[in-house]
């Protein structure tokens, strides 16, 4: 794992848990660095879009492979 990328495995968790865990993990991520969240809850993409709008973090990408969503966030420079 790169110092620029942190990974959160939230597979099997129902929303809002993936967002809550990501929020907690982002506290330890440096501004501008990436967090990849892997989630299986179909509500996760919409929940992370709302989370990023509310917090100022950037939603870089959402990809789905099978039942798993890979959601990439970039931590806001000020938060």
Tokens linked to 20: 């809550």
* 15 assigned to active site: yes
Residues 6+ apart with CB under 8 A from 62: 45, 48, 69, 70, 71, 72
> If you count them, how many residues does the chain have?
79
Among candidate residues 1, 2, 13, 15, the one labeled active-site is 15
Q: Return the active site residues.
A: 15
């Amino acid at each position: 794992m790169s110092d620029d990328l942190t990974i959160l495995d939230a597979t099997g968790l129902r929303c809002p848990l993936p967002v809550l865990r990501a929020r907690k993990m982002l506290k330890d991520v440096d501004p501008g660095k990436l967090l990849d969240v892997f989630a299986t809850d179909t509500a996760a993409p919409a929940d992370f879009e709302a989370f990023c709008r509310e917090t100022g973090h950037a939603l870089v990408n959402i990809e789905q492979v099978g039942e798993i969503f890979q959601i990439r966030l970039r931590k806001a420079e000020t938060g």
